[in-house]
Amino acid sequence: MGDPSEFPAKYVSDKQLVGLSVLDSKGNDCGKIKFLCIDPKTYALSGIMIKKRSSQQYFLSVAYFKKVTSTSLQLNSIPIKPGDKVIDIDGKSVGKVIRINLHFDTNKIKSLEIKSRFKSKIILAEKIVGIGDKITIQRNHDGE
C-alpha cells in the first residue's frame, strides 16, 4: 500500500493537520501548524499559520508543501521565519527577521522587516540572495 505514515485518504481534515510539526527540506523543525488559511474567493487552501515556541506566528504558502504524513508536513525548501538571522554577502550581521511582509494577491515575500540593535529597517525581497541557516542579502550602495 505504500508508506504507512502517509494519509491513505484522498482528503485530510483540519483536525488532522492542526498541531502537526512542520519540517523544512533538511528536516529542521519550523514549528507547528496553528491553523489553515483558506482563500475567500476560491475556497482553496492558500497556506498555513505556523508557531514555534516563543516566536511570532508566520504564514507559509502552499507552494512550500511537499508531503503530509500522519506526524508532519514536510516542505520542499527552507522558509524564512521570524527570528532568522540576516547577514550581508560579506558575512556581516545585519539583524534578525521580525516580520515577513507578503504581497496580498500572491502570498510571495514582498519585504522583510529586520531589527538591528535598537532600530528596524525594511529589506525588499529583491535584495535576498540566499536562504539557509541565515538569510543573505545584498549590501546597499550607501555602505549598509
What gap in Å lies between CA 21 and CA 102, rounded to an integer?
Answer: 23
Q: Could you tell me if 96 and 86 are in contact, meaning their C-beta atoms sit under 8 angstroms apart?
A: yes
pLDDT for residue 129:
93
**135-137/85-88 β-pairing:** parallel
pLDDT for residue 141:
54
pLDDT for residue 139:
76
Phi, psi (rounded to 5 degrees) for 137: -125, 160
DSSP conformation class of 127: G
Q: Could you tell me if 69 and 51 are in contact, meaning their C-beta atoms sit under 8 angstroms apart?
A: no
pLDDT in tens, the chain (144 residues): 345 456 666 777 888 899 999 999 999 999 999 999 998 888 989 999 999 887 788 999 999 999 998 899 999 999 998 989 999 999 999 999 999 998 877 778 999 999 988 899 999 999 999 998 899 998 765 544
Ordered structural domains, the chain, with CATH: 14-75 (2.30.30.240), 85-137 (2.30.30.240)
